[in-house]
Amino acid sequence: MTDQTTPDNTQATKPLMVRCPSCGDTVPYRLDNPYRPFCSKGCKAIDLGAWASEEYRVEAKPNPEDLIG
Ligand SMILES: [Zn+2]
């Protein structure tokens, strides 16, 4: 994934708002959110599932924890 949103604020006054690629909801881009830029674990799992099914067509789902960091 490419990070097209480069925050210019060094002050953490305003949270950077991003749109969840999965459900389209607007959520604050928080560094302490392990599911960013998704709004939740569920949305990230959905996206990973779609990605995996398109790219690999495997039956076993990837472990999202392995892709963090
Ligand atoms: Zn979402």
pLDDT tens digits along 9-52: 555 577 789 999 999 999 888 888 899 889 999 999 988 787 67
Q: Assess if residue 59 is contained within a domain.
A: yes
Is residue 54's pLDDT more than 80?
Answer: no
Query: What single-letter DSSP state applies at residue 24?
Result: -
Domain count, the chain: 1
Q: Is the pTM of this model over 0.85?
A: no
Domain that holds residue 24: 16-67
Interval between CA 8 and ligand 1 midpoint (Å): 24
Interval between CA 1 and ligand 1 midpoint (Å): 16
- At residue 68, the pLDDT reads 67
- At residue 15, the pLDDT reads 75
Is residue 67's pLDDT more than 80?
Answer: no
- Residue 22 sits in a domain whose CATH number is 3.30.50.10
Interval between CA 38 and ligand 1 midpoint (Å): 5
Q: Assess if residue 11 is contained within a domain.
A: no
Instruction: For residue 48, count CB atoms less than 10 angstroms from its CB and return exposed for 0-12, middle for 13-18, buried for 19 or more.
Output: middle
- At residue 42, the pLDDT reads 92
